[in-house]
A and B are shown apart, each in its own frame.
Chain A
Amino acid sequence: MENSPILTKKNRMAIPRQKMPEQAPEIRKRNFNEVNLGLDEETAVLEANRCLDCPRPTCIDGCPVRIKIPDFIRMITQRDFLGAAKKIKEDNLLPLVCGRVCPQEEQCEKTCVLRGKFQAVSIGRLERFVADYERKFGNFTPPHVLPSNSKKVAIVGSGPSGLACASDLIQWGYNVTIFEALHEFGGVLVYGIPEFRLPKEILRYEVNNLKKIGVKFVDNFIVGKTLTIDELMTEEGFDAVYLCVGAGLPWFMNIPGESLMGVYSANEFLTRVNLMKAYQFPDADTPIHIGKNAIVIGGGNTAMDAVRTSMRLGAETATIVYRRSEVEMPARIEEIHHAKEEGIVFRMLTNPVEFISDENGWVKSVRCIRMELGEPDSSGRRRPIAIPGSEFDIDADLVVVAIGNGSNPLISQTTPDLKCNKWGNILVNGAEGRTSKRGIFAGGDIVSGSATVILAMGAGRDAAKSIDEFIKTGAWNESAPTALPTP
């Protein structure tokens, strides 16, 4: 191609990893617009030219849905951006989302041969670039959909797992209905991930595309309450059900003062701001308490989202309190980096022991204890141990507890013959996602516990395959599901 001169391996390796243009920290820390602005065409082509197009590519192994990474990157070097987008969509229908929120440094970019000294190809940024390009310039071309086989599948939950499962099944000719408990579709992508990381407009675009190819979306419908799973099967005539309801029952720390005013779970804090648009209060009706000194407890992506949100709402200081050290933080490196640029304070090896009240019942400070790292625990990370007598107080009038989620009991409570473990996670038969109940499949966070968007999507696609097989053959292995699928 005239636009892509023949580059030697050496030429390619000489190109530095291209930077993502971003809003300046001082400006973005006070607005909710997207932080990352996206690569322009020239930068994307330059970055794509860094790919060595390995004969035996290792990047694909790092991707839970096995996107044909070298193929789509090659198409970028040839400036066939729409073709590249199509190539990604063979394996992942939501590149607009994944290009923004996947932890690529732990997945495809971790297994790129250039990692380390030369730095991995920015696969995630390229994925986002072509997806954005297609949304801007490409007409939506519906994927090939097989003629209807009139078999009905119910998907419970419209988060990433449900959307991925629906996109496969609809293309294979199934009649697919997604049931959502909230009034908007997208699950954690709409209530959890903030506008500045994933604009809601993008999510609506993806949902609309699924509607265009025939997926039915039902909002305000709580499976287990509005109708039970058994009623979906017997009365509504569904041939199979995929349960992907997410984790969604916030953990608290069980320390004194947790119910003081000004103390939120991350789910509540983020749902108020994201789903209910409290950052637009009073134009939107849902209020949020604006803290002067905000403290967010936890070290994951949700904690980063919450602390950066508190800064954007107007906090003077916003602090992460985490009981381990920075290397053990589960948050993406990019999120930690962005947070630091925005002036977020990081207090590591610090664990809250009590929330202290003012005279009116509002939180006024957090009593913390210093920690040190001991021997590695079951997660392989060094276990934090409290240093006796090291307590100290940090002023705070807004506290967000972001230490993770347990499983929501609504489905298990109303479906007694569905086997769960002691934490309420639904038990499935390996990657097939079959539960203890015939015709019922499960995947995503309700099975694995809190994980990532792309893993939930991978589980959704695996489930789609098993559902297809089950409906075609009617075969159901009755052996009791025992193991959780390994991510």
Chain B
Amino acid sequence: MNKIISAEFIAPDIKRFVVEAPLIARKRKPGQFVIVRVRENGERIPLTIVDGSPETGFITLMVQGIGKTTKTMNQLEAGDFVRDVVGPLGKPTHIEKYGVAVCVCGGVGTAEVLPIAKALKEAGNYVITIIGARTKELVIAESEMRTVCDEVIVTTDDGTYGKKGFVTEALSAILQSGRKPDFVLAVGPLPMMKAIAEMTRPYQIRTEVSLNSIMIDGTGMCGGCRANIGGKTQFVCVDGPEFDAHQVDFDQIAKRQKQFNAQEKISLDRFTQENHTCKLEPFINQPEKQ
């Protein structure tokens, strides 16, 4: 049982949790993840470790409520407990001085990239980060990112904040400006990571992506997270989660991500039903007027 120290929504459906996990806080490195089980009979899901401090013994996790498990987790508040937290898992991000490093991130991926961007900066890189979001209120971790990066570019699909458009367009502008990045990291939705990989391929820029597969144990035992990397089967949990983007078979991963869609819908419907508050309730419960 791990105690939640603080829990706050930082954007619609995106909640930041600070959780007590002293051993993980001491060991974790940028790019690693934990497996979390919210409650008894719950699923085991991987969550990237966004931050951690050996002094406090706390780690930070960012949860986007999409399915039943993440929505259940997002109902938890400070003082509640998460049933199981195990880690740190996966290989840490390889950090070195490349020169110009571009981090491209979308959604909660932005929070996940933050510790990596920081480490890249500390290693002596010139770090440019491109943050993408659908709309203004979904842009997260921008101010933290500005403190660790040399440049931060924000794009929103609807143009409500930053540049209107996609992260790919921002990266394309950099590539066409003649300023060739030495390293690109992309963390976010699969179509975005695939698009970035295709974009840097002709330039032969070393590009890495962080894959987020369906996992159970997270230690290499089940093989559920397997992905085709350069024609070879690799396990995201122990061989990754970061891989050479130009070797990844994104289409296969996209299919495998959907394999439980039907069951996920059943779970989510049940969750919605159980958490439905009847709009008539305030009226029904009112004492009858005399």
Chain A contact residues, CB within 8 Å of chain B: 181-183, 191, 219-222, 225-227, 248-250, 252, 254, 258-259, 261-262, 264-265, 267-268, 271-272, 275-277, 280-289, 360-361, 408-410
The complex places the Cα of A281 from the Cα of B268 at a distance, in Å, of: 12
Contacts of B86 in A (CB 8 A): 181, 183, 220-222, 226
What's the nearest-Cβ distance from chain A to residue B68, in Å?
6
CB closest residue in chain B, given A219: B84
Q: Assess whether A271 is in contact with B220, with CB atoms less than 8 Å apart.
A: no
Of the A-B pairs whose beta carbons lie under 8 Å apart in the complex, a sample of 10, sorted by A's number, is A183-B37, A222-B86, A225-B89, A249-B221, A250-B223, A258-B233, A265-B224, A268-B224, A275-B216, A285-B68
Contacts of A409 in B (CB 8 A): 220, 238
**For residues 195 through 217 of chain B, which have their beta carbon under 8 Å from a beta carbon of chain A?**
216-217
Most buried by A among B24, B83, B85, B221: B221
| CB 8 Å contact bits of B19-49 with A (1 = contact, 0 = none) | 0000110010000000001000111100000
**For residues 69 through 116 of chain B, which have their beta carbon under 8 Å from a beta carbon of chain A?**
69, 83-89
The complex places the Cα of A282 from the Cα of B252 at a distance, in Å, of: 27
Of A183, A252, A284, A361, which is within 8 A of B223 by CB? Answer: A252
Of A252, A283, A285, A410, which is within 8 A of B219 by CB? Answer: A410
B interface, over-half SS: mixed
The complex places the Cα of A284 from the Cα of B43 at a distance, in Å, of: 8
Q: Assess whether B264 is in contact with A287, with CB atoms less than 8 Å apart.
A: yes
Q: Assess whether B43 is in contact with A222, with CB atoms less than 8 Å apart.
A: no
Given contacts A252-B233, A276-B216, is CB(A264)–CB(B224) below 8 Å? yes
With contacts A268-B224, A271-B216 known, what are 19 further pairs, Cβ within 8 A? Answer: A220-B84, A220-B85, A222-B89, A226-B88, A250-B221, A250-B223, A258-B233, A259-B256, A267-B221, A267-B222, A268-B223, A271-B217, A271-B221, A272-B216, A275-B216, A285-B41, A287-B267, A361-B252, A408-B220
Q: How large is the interface on B (under 10, 10 to 19, 20 to 34, 35 or more residues)?
A: 35 or more
Contacts of B85 in A (CB 8 A): 220
Interface residue? B176 (CB, 8 A): no
The complex places the Cα of A361 from the Cα of B250 at a distance, in Å, of: 13
What's the nearest-Cβ distance from chain A to residue B103, in Å?
25
Q: Assess whether B219 is in contact with A284, with CB atoms less than 8 Å apart.
A: no
The complex places the Cα of A287 from the Cα of B105 at a distance, in Å, of: 30
Chain B contact residues, CB within 8 Å of chain A: 23-24, 27, 37, 41-44, 68-69, 83-89, 216-217, 219-224, 226-228, 233, 238, 252, 255-256, 258-260, 263-264, 266-267, 270
Q: Assess whether B220 is in contact with A248, with CB atoms less than 8 Å apart.
A: yes
Q: Assess whether A277 is in contact with B216, with CB atoms less than 8 Å apart.
A: no
What's the nearest-Cβ distance from chain B to residue A444, in Å?
14
Q: Assess whether B221 is in contact with A261, with CB atoms less than 8 Å apart.
A: no
What's the nearest-Cβ distance from chain A to residue B90, in Å?
9
Contacts of B223 in A (CB 8 A): 249-250, 252, 264-265, 267-268
Given contacts A261-B259, A276-B43, is CB(A249)–CB(B87) below 8 Å? no
Of B23, B37, B238, which is within 8 A of A226 by CB? Answer: B23
The complex places the Cα of A459 from the Cα of B216 at a distance, in Å, of: 28
What's the nearest-Cβ distance from chain A to residue B88, in Å?
6
The complex places the Cα of A56 from the Cα of B183 at a distance, in Å, of: 74
The complex places the Cα of A349 from the Cα of B193 at a distance, in Å, of: 44
The complex places the Cα of A146 from the Cα of B264 at a distance, in Å, of: 52
The complex places the Cα of A77 from the Cα of B86 at a distance, in Å, of: 50
Q: Assess whether A262 is in contact with B259, with CB atoms less than 8 Å apart.
A: yes
Contacts of A226 in B (CB 8 A): 23-24, 27, 86-88
Contacts of A289 in B (CB 8 A): 259-260
The complex places the Cα of A282 from the Cα of B259 at a distance, in Å, of: 16
What's the nearest-Cβ distance from chain A to residue B195, in Å?
20
- 3 A-B pairs with the lowest CB-CB distances in the bound complex, closest first: A287-B263, A268-B222, A220-B86
Contacts of A250 in B (CB 8 A): 221-223
Of A220, A271, A288, which is within 8 A of B222 by CB? Answer: A271
Given contacts A259-B233, A285-B69, is CB(A408)–CB(B267) below 8 Å? no
Q: Assess whether A282 is in contact with B222, with CB atoms less than 8 Å apart.
A: no
Of A183, A276, A361, which is within 8 A of B255 by CB? Answer: A361
The complex places the Cα of A284 from the Cα of B266 at a distance, in Å, of: 12
The complex places the Cα of A268 from the Cα of B44 at a distance, in Å, of: 13
CB closest residue in chain B, given A290: B263
